[in-house]
Amino acid sequence: MVAEAAGASAILIINDRKELYKMVCDKSETDLNIGIPAVMLPQDAGASLETSLQHASAVAVQLYSPDRPLVDTAEVFLWFMAIGTILCASYWSAWSAREALMEYEKLLKDAPEELMNMEATGSNGIVDITTTSACLFVVIASCFLILLYKLMSFWFVELLVVLFCIGGVEGLQTCLVALLSRWFKRAGESFLRVPYFGDVSYLTLALSPLCIVFAAVWAVYRRESFAWIGQDILGIALIVTVLQIVRVPNLKVGTVLLSCAFLYDIFWVFISKRWFHESVMIVVARGDRTAEDGVPMLLKMPRLFDPWGGYSIIGFGDILLPGLIIAFSLRYDWAANKSLRAGYFLWCMVAYGSGLLITYIALNLMDGHGQPALLYIVPFTLGTFLFLGWKRGGLRNLWIQGDPPRVCTHIQHSRVRILKENVSSGRSLNAM
């Protein structure tokens, strides 16, 4: 529809009335009603059209613009996937914390002298985020994002795929072992010493090859139409495992972390256009400079009932970062023996779901332009938590301690017994 230009007066275009005009204007000539059609094609369709033109083939193009559905079913499924992932991870984290606390109190009852000065955290293998690390999140994440943006190429995406497969295998294996150990308890409690890995359970040894094969199959067929299923399974397993290992110790750290993530998301989606002339976050998420359909650091769902096709996506950080503070709320509720309505977890989950829903509404109102999900999720989730803590008078404890005030009867009884033993043996009370 557009001829090659050999000068301004040589371009011929076709307007909506099928008339030909030179792209010039005489001094006494009025404006003409000229329209220039602009068509957006999918990448595969554009590549096919370009190949046909290069081989001097006759190409006929028929334009059709169907209406998109009012509700994107892919976004609905992603909403449920995000909610379900945080729900499962939170209950697993709270259950593990309660089991560790019960085990600690049992050991304290049996051997109080050895455990008197230990903290009842049961934090073996658990990493607590600090305020400093929460602030460093913005710097590290920004450097990594710029690295992805500048080095985005075929080989770099391949490296990301390998790293994602390693993390996905570890996450899938951890989730399956924790789940199946309920039925195969003996295999989960029997260990074998493996060089470089230490003691490994027989259940882990049995599941590891299956997880590796699953990730390898996804990596080989990741460009196929069904590959999103494997990517979502590996991604969800990785998120759940991280939420089990990494924890927020109190509301202060959670507030700093989400506030930094809030600013990070807004800057790299909106403000980065001023320096890079395009949204860095969106370019990286879509994998615009590669042949891949996005980087493997997000959950995706095909738009099955959308005539335009494509995928709806949500980044790992939009689930993982709010999930840290939501999991903390459930651990606090269980430690304080709060009911579902009287606690914080239910309302944080409702707030997160509402914030994510507003994100998708804004995405559709903005004609599909990428939106920073944390712009809507953080005020809803964190604001609800802070408001309820202030209203119920527990904000100070949530902010500083992160654990409900409680008194362990084993500690009291042990201290009384030790005092009696010290007095009877003639030792000074000041030594205690």
Contact 234, 304 (CB under 8 A): no
Dist CA 333 CA 328 (whole Å):
9
Residue type at 130 in one-letter notation: T
Dist CA 332 CA 97 (whole Å):
10
Tell me the three state secondary structure of residue 307. coil
Q: Tell me, rounded to whole angstroms, the distance of Cα 159 from its chain centroid.
A: 20
Contact 285, 268 (CB under 8 A): no
| Cα–Cα separations (whole angstroms), residue 234 to 166, 196, 260, 299 | 10, 25, 27, 9
Give the active site residues.
265, 318
Contact 328, 384 (CB under 8 A): no
Question: Of how many residues is the chain composed?
Answer: 432
Tell me the three state secondary structure of residue 249. coil
Sign for the CA dihedral angle at 51, 53, 57, 58 comes to positive
Contact 24, 9 (CB under 8 A): yes
Dist CA 267 CA 276 (whole Å):
12
Helix 317-335 to helix 374-391 angle (10° resolution) is: 10
Sequential DSSP letters for 370-417? ---THHHHHHHHHHHHHHHHHHTT-HHHHHHT-S-----HHHHHHHHH
Sequential DSSP letters for 63-92? ---PPPPSS-HHHHHHHHHHHHHHHHHHHH
DSSP 8-state assignment for residue 192: E
